[in-house]
Structure 1
Amino acid sequence: MEAFMESHYIRVLPFLFEGLIWTLIITGVGLFFGFILGAIFGMGRLSKNKLIYGISSIYVEALRGTPILAQILFIYFGLPDLLGFNIDKISASIIAISLNAGAYIAEIVRGAVYSIDKGQSEAGRSIGLTRSQTMRYIIWPQAFKRMIPPLGNQFVISLKDTSLFSVIAVGELLYMGQQYYGTTFAAFEALTMVCLLYLAITVPTALYLRKVERRLDV
């Protein structure tokens, strides 16, 4: 036991916990803004206005059709040439997660709203509600219930996507593991613990989502 406590499996943990904090911060903040973008562009994909629909569709297809690794490199290295100032790596990572997740969440929002029976809208209008009031008080609450499981899945996907930010030296979980084995050469031990920490978050999240899905009956 004493030998195990002195092994690289244990010694790497302080480094990894530091990286895990940044992983969770980037994921959480990114998904917060991603949901806002997803709600806006998801509703835009349902709009009868051709301009709004077109802009929303371009955003969704462009972000879903390109790798997030290319997006982070574009934001961190490409945009500064256009904007004339640098973007720090944490901000670039949050922007990348927000934009990327927003595109997928937009489709989640669009699908959830579209899945609500049209009779619900007609019922709202029949009692004197405007279109926006019908959406706010009748359609959206039902649609949001159906969004919860796929939004949870998007959290897991975005969490794992943060590992790609090691290419711009963001101190997330994988990068801290790489830093550790770069000096100790204990790659097997470090990467084993990296994977276990990812699983410690993703597996309970997946199990919880299944429970929520059964409870909501969606």
Structure 2
Amino acid sequence: MDFSWIFEGNTLDLLLMALGRTIFYTLTGFVISSIIGLLVALGQISRSSITTWLAEAYISWFRSTPLLVQLVLVYYGLPVLLGINTIAWVCGIIALGMYSGAYMSQIIRGAIISIDKGQMEAGRSLGYSYWAVMRKIIVPQAIRRMIAPATNEFISLTKNSSLLSTITVIELFREANTIIATNFRTIEVYLVVAILYYLTNNIIGMAGALLEKRLKTGDELK
């Protein structure tokens, strides 16, 4: 195996730039998924049957269909349905956010319902509204409990971002295929890409563990 191709021309720069795009797409998609996840989770625990049904329908659709299919529907379907021009990377981020949002909603919902119900009752007895108690008391505590599973979802989203290459988005995996088309070093290129993904996801994992430790999440189990 020969890895000298990494230092030929601007190959290394192209891979690092593609990695930077991958991180940007993933991070932006994760922010969107967190917002969607919070809204869907609140919809699930809402007292409105219609809101609950809509939240459940959202989760059912996005958890039961492949991300690849969702990417294709967003990128190729929107021009047909709405008559608008689509930008590949924007569609990719939106699809990542919507897909991951279904999973984030369950992480957020699980963290919220794990908080003792007595805290809601105590907040209401002090004169706070339901949503004020959620915003000031329940959600801040739930955030600490969702750090570990949210970190795992972030890592999964990073790996899933490689599917953006199917809708012509230039990210790490697509850049790797472009390089392979010029040097024919298939195994070597994919191995380097795998290492880049590995390092990136381990950094994310360490960052999540550090944040979890800083907030002392799980100390009650020790």
Q: For 1:33-72, list aligned pairs within 5 A.
A: 33-72=32-71
Structure 2 residue 7 is the aligned partner of structure 1 residue 10: yes
Where do 5+ consecutive residues of structure 2 fail to align?
none
Larger RCO (alpha carbons 8 Å, 6+ apart): 1
Q: CA deviation at 1:211?
A: 4.0
Q: Partners in 2 of 1:203 and 1:192 — Cα distance?
A: 16
| Alignment correspondent of 1:118 | 117
Task: Look up the SS of the partner of 1:100 in the other structure.
Answer: helix
Q: Partners in 2 of 1:46 and 1:168 — Cα distance?
A: 36
Task: Look up the SS of the partner of 1:128 in the other structure.
Answer: coil
Q: Partners in 2 of 1:164 and 1:10 — Cα distance?
A: 27
| Alignment correspondent of 2:76 | 77
Assess if the C-alpha contact under 8 Å between 1:33 and 1:98 holds in 2. Answer: yes
Structure 2 residue 200 is the aligned partner of structure 1 residue 201: yes
Q: Partners in 2 of 1:31 and 1:152 — Cα distance?
A: 10
Q: CA deviation at 1:24?
A: 1.1
Q: Partners in 2 of 1:40 and 1:194 — Cα distance?
A: 35
Q: Deviations over 1:158-213 (max 9, x none)?
A: 11111011111211001001000111101122111111110111112223333444
Letter in 1 for 2:217: D
Letter in 1 for 2:130: R
Q: Partners in 2 of 1:213 and 1:32 — Cα distance?
A: 18
Q: Tell me the C-alpha RMSD between the 2 structures.
A: 1.5
Q: CA deviation at 1:79?
A: 2.2
Matched length:
214
Q: Partners in 1 of 2:42 and 2:54 — Cα distance?
A: 12
Structure 2 residue 167 is the aligned partner of structure 1 residue 168: yes
* 1:29–1:211 distance in 2 versus 1, CA, 3 Å: closer
Structure 2 residue 102 is the aligned partner of structure 1 residue 108: no
Q: CA deviation at 1:48?
A: 1.4
Q: Deviations over 1:104-132 (max 9, x none)?
A: 11111111111100011111112221111
> Structure 2 length as normaliser, TM-score?
0.91
Q: CA deviation at 1:20?
A: 0.9
Task: Look up the SS of the partner of 1:35 in the other structure.
Answer: helix
Q: Partners in 2 of 1:85 and 1:208 — Cα distance?
A: 39
Letter in 1 for 2:147: I
Q: CA deviation at 1:214?
A: 4.5
Q: Partners in 2 of 1:89 and 1:174 — Cα distance?
A: 15
Q: Deviations over 1:65-104 (max 9, x none)?
A: 1110110011111221111122110111011111011111
Assess if the C-alpha contact under 8 Å between 1:38 and 1:106 holds in 2. Answer: yes
Letter in 1 for 2:162: S
Q: Partners in 2 of 1:144 and 1:10 — Cα distance?
A: 44
| Alignment correspondent of 1:28 | 27
Q: CA deviation at 1:34?
A: 1.3
Q: Partners in 2 of 1:25 and 1:205 — Cα distance?
A: 13
> Structure 1 length as normaliser, TM-score?
0.93
Assess if the C-alpha contact under 8 Å between 2:145 and 2:217 holds in 1. Answer: no
Q: Percent identity?
A: 36
Structure 2 residue 217 is the aligned partner of structure 1 residue 217: yes
